Structure 1
C-alpha cells in the first residue's frame, strides 16, 4: 500500500524557446490539474453484432495540465516563468507555438516531458485578494521522460 503524496511537491518548468534545454521554473502555484482524457477522440464501432451494447475504439489521445497561482513580481520584476509564458510563448503562432514543458514530483527521479502549446489563463482578483495567474498546457504527441540532473 502506497502513501499519498503532497500536491505541493509537484514541480513544473517551461523550456526557453531561445535557449534549448534551458528550463524556467513556474513558481507561486497554488493548484494544478492533469486531465489525461482531454482532446480524446473515439470512433463508434457498434454494429448489429454488438447485440445492443455500445462499442468504440479510441482514435486519438490527448492531455492537458492546468496550473493556477498568484501573479508574482518583486520590485517591479515579474516572476521569470510567468513572464516567459505571458510575454513570449503566448504570442508565438503556427509551428513556433509548440514548446516543451516538464513536470515531476520531488520524490521522482524522472521528468515527464511534453511537447505542447500553452494558453495563458485569466488574471484577476477582488478587493482583499491577491491577483491570480494561470496557464493551460495542451500536449502534442506522446510524452517522453528525462532523468533528473542534480547540479551541485
Structure 2
C-alpha cells in the first residue's frame, strides 16, 4: 500500500493568451476540488422501486478553489495570479473560457480543464498578509497531457 501524498506537492497553472503557454499560480496555501459541484440528477423512482429511491446522473461538474497570498514582490505580480486578475476575469461569453491544468509533483501527466474562473476575495487584517483566491469551474470533460520537460 502506498503512502499518502502531501498537499503542498500539487501544482496549478493557467494558460495565457498565447496558446499552449501556461504559467504557474504561485504562493498558494490551500486548494480543494469538488468533483460533485454542478451535478444534476433525474429522479427515476417509480412504483417498481418498492419504496427505494432511484436516480440517474444527468450532468457532472467540478470546481477547484485555490487560495493563498496576494503576491507582488518588488512590484512584480505572480504571473498566474496576475493573469487571472487582470485578463481572464474580464472576459465574457465564449471568451470567458480558458484552460487550467494541475498535477501532483509525483505524477507524469497533467489533468487539463477547459473552464471559467471566478476571482475570490482579497483581504487581511493589520498583522496579516493579503489573501488571494480563485475558483475554477470545469466546462465539459477533463483531458490529460504529458508533462514535458523545459528545453
Range of TM-score over shorter length: over 0.9
Q: Which TM-score applies when normalising by structure 2? A: 0.98
Alignment correspondent of 1:84: 83
2:148 pairs with 1:149: yes
After superposition, the C-alpha distances for 1:2-39 in whole angstroms (9 at most, x for unaligned) are: 100010000000001x2000001000000000000000
- Partner of 2:150, secondary structure, is coil
Alignment map for 1:1-152 (pairs within 5 Å)? 1-16=1-16, 18-152=17-151
Q: Which TM-score applies when normalising by structure 1? A: 0.98
**Alpha-carbon distance between aligned partners in 2 of 1:84 and 1:22, rounded to the nearest angstrom:** 12
- Partner of 2:111, secondary structure, is strand
Q: Post-superposition shift, 1:75? A: 1.5
- Partner of 2:23, secondary structure, is strand
Point out 4+ residue stretches in structure 1 off by more than 2 angstroms.
Answer: none
Q: Post-superposition shift, 1:63? A: 0.2
Q: List alignment gaps of at least 5 residues for structure 2.
A: none
After superposition, the C-alpha distances for 1:30-61 in whole angstroms (9 at most, x for unaligned) are: 00000000000000000011111100000000
**Alpha-carbon distance between aligned partners in 2 of 1:60 and 1:81, rounded to the nearest angstrom:** 30
Q: Post-superposition shift, 1:79? A: 1.1
Q: List alignment gaps of at least 5 residues for structure 1.
A: none
**Alpha-carbon distance between aligned partners in 2 of 1:79 and 1:13, rounded to the nearest angstrom:** 12
**Alpha-carbon distance between aligned partners in 1 of 2:138 and 2:9, rounded to the nearest angstrom:** 22
